[in-house]
Chain A
Amino acid sequence: METLTIMVLLAFLVVIAVGIIVLRDLLAGVVLLGLYSLVAAGAFVVMDAVDVAFTEAAVGAGISTILFLGALSFTKHEQKPRGHDSVTALFFVAVTGALLIYGTLDMPHYGSDLSPAQTHPELTQHFLHKSDSEIGIPNVVTSVLASYRGYDTLGETVVVFTAGVAVLSLLGLRRRRPEEEAPEDAPGDLPTVPDDEAEHK
């Protein structure tokens, strides 16, 4: 039953991906991308990755869709009907895919508990058996994220901070679209800041 659910969700993902390739309207592409993230989040729940599922649903389907819509509100919705369906690209993609599929043939099968990832004594087994006494949080994902791999998470925060600074320095704080075409409070408008604060930047 579980396997069947996974298969159906994965088939959905493929259909959505084909839709993204075929559709020319960018807004439709963005909405389909949000749906793609949401379906993937559903599949993550079935595969026991609950923390990943709600992060994917909130960040992948939520925030990134909002970012795309914001960018679309500054630019155009239509993709030009050119640069389409190049045979060279299709050939390249098919060859790469075939090579990757050849590479999966000796991978551990889905759900195998004997694969190296599951049996490594100092990583997964250590986290599962020792984290209760060492950290004391029942959710192992939380203890690995915030304690064993705490520096990794700190580095992640630095990346997000850097990205925020980069976006602000690229777009500026007091951005306005041309008045005649901009509706009030369109998605993508950045919050306005008081003048004395903006002058320090």
Chain B
Amino acid sequence: MNTILGLYNYWIVIILMMAGLYILIARYNLIKKIIGLSVFQTSIFYLYITMGKVDGGTAPILLDEPASYSNPLVHVLILTAIVVGVATTAVALALIVRIYESYDTIEEDEIKAIEMQEQDS
């Protein structure tokens, strides 16, 4: 029981990660793939924040009296990761818009079929 309570967060993070990974592998739609990537990414944020939590701790803003704080380092790392994640998402979406303009579809298999046709002719 103790193990289950102590590791529950990690297990949920892994389920969320695998949900994102499954979308990335099994869906052909490119925008859907990026959505899956975002799900994966947010679950990684969750993993880090979980590791920084201390029982009975407060947010790492210094108080006058002694107190126990959660780990500020992981918060900083994840702050950076969130912003970088949005930047990469923006580039990916811009690429998808260009692909749509060139191929008139955002389904991976249709794009492959069009490319095969072009090679044959």
A residues bordering B, Cβ < 8 Å? 3, 6-7, 10-11, 13-14, 17-18, 20-21, 26, 29-30, 33, 36-37, 40, 43-44, 47-52, 55-56, 59-60, 63-64, 67-68, 70-72, 74-76, 79-80, 82-86, 89-90, 92-94, 96-97, 100-101, 104-105, 107-113, 115, 117-118, 123-124, 127-128, 131-132, 138-141, 144-145, 149, 152-153, 156, 159-160, 162-164, 166-167, 170-171
Chain B 25-59, CB within 8 Å of chain A: the 1/0 string?
A: 11111011011101100100110011111110111
Instruction: Determine whether the beta carbon of B96 is less than 8 Å from that of A75.
Output: yes
For residue A123, which residues in chain B have a CB less than 8 angstroms away from its CB? 73
Number of interface residues of B (CB under 8 A): 84
Those of B69-121 within 8 Å (CB) of chain A: 69-76, 78-80, 82-91, 93-98, 100-101, 105-110
For residue B42, which residues in chain A have a CB less than 8 angstroms away from its CB? 36-37, 40, 56, 60
CA distance A159 to B100 in the complex (A): 25
Instruction: Determine whether the beta carbon of B76 is less than 8 Å from that of A17.
Output: no
Instruction: Determine whether the beta carbon of B10 is less than 8 Å from that of A107.
Output: yes
Q: For chain A, what secondary structure do more than half of its interface residues adopt (helix, strand, loop), or is it mixed?
A: helix
Instruction: Determine whether the beta carbon of A71 is less than 8 Å from that of B97.
Output: yes
Distance in angstroms from B26 CB to nearest chain A CB is 4
Question: Which residue of the partner chain A has the closest CB to B55?
Answer: A111
Instruction: Determine whether the beta carbon of B88 is less than 8 Å from that of A52.
Output: no
